[in-house]
Amino acid sequence: MIDLERQQTLLKKYEALVSEWNTISLVCSVAFSACFIGVVLGLIFYNTSAIAISIVVMFVFGGFEYKSRKEYVEIKEDLEEEMFKLAGMKKARTKELIRKGLWW
């Protein structure tokens, strides 16, 4: 009975994590697209300040997405490891090796 409750709790955490990541990813994608449009418009109208501001904001949102993606991967791996422990299985180390090889 306790295992079932723990499984449900882990699944709810996992669903909340995925939902939160989807929201963050959507916001970053929209902001990055808007900045790209700003760069294009700056190029069309020869506005250097608009181009510079758009590029800086692109880097800010790119850094934010990288940071949030890194945190997401760490939390996701912890949850998956806990799920595997609960099921009595060992987690494959392939993903960990790929991540350490910077393929993630």
Range of the domain at 23: 2-100
Q: Is the pLDDT of residue 79 over 90?
A: no
Q: Residue 103: pLDDT band by 50, 70, 90 thresholds?
A: very low
Calpha distance 38→23 (Å, rounded):
23
Number of domains present in the structure of the chain? 1
Closest CA to 61 of 17, 38, 27, 37: 27
Q: Residue 1: pLDDT band by 50, 70, 90 thresholds?
A: low
* pLDDT of 102: 47
Q: Is the pLDDT of residue 101 over 60?
A: no
Q: Is the pLDDT of residue 23 over 80?
A: yes
Give the least confident one: 27-31, 37-41, 46-50, 89-93.
89-93
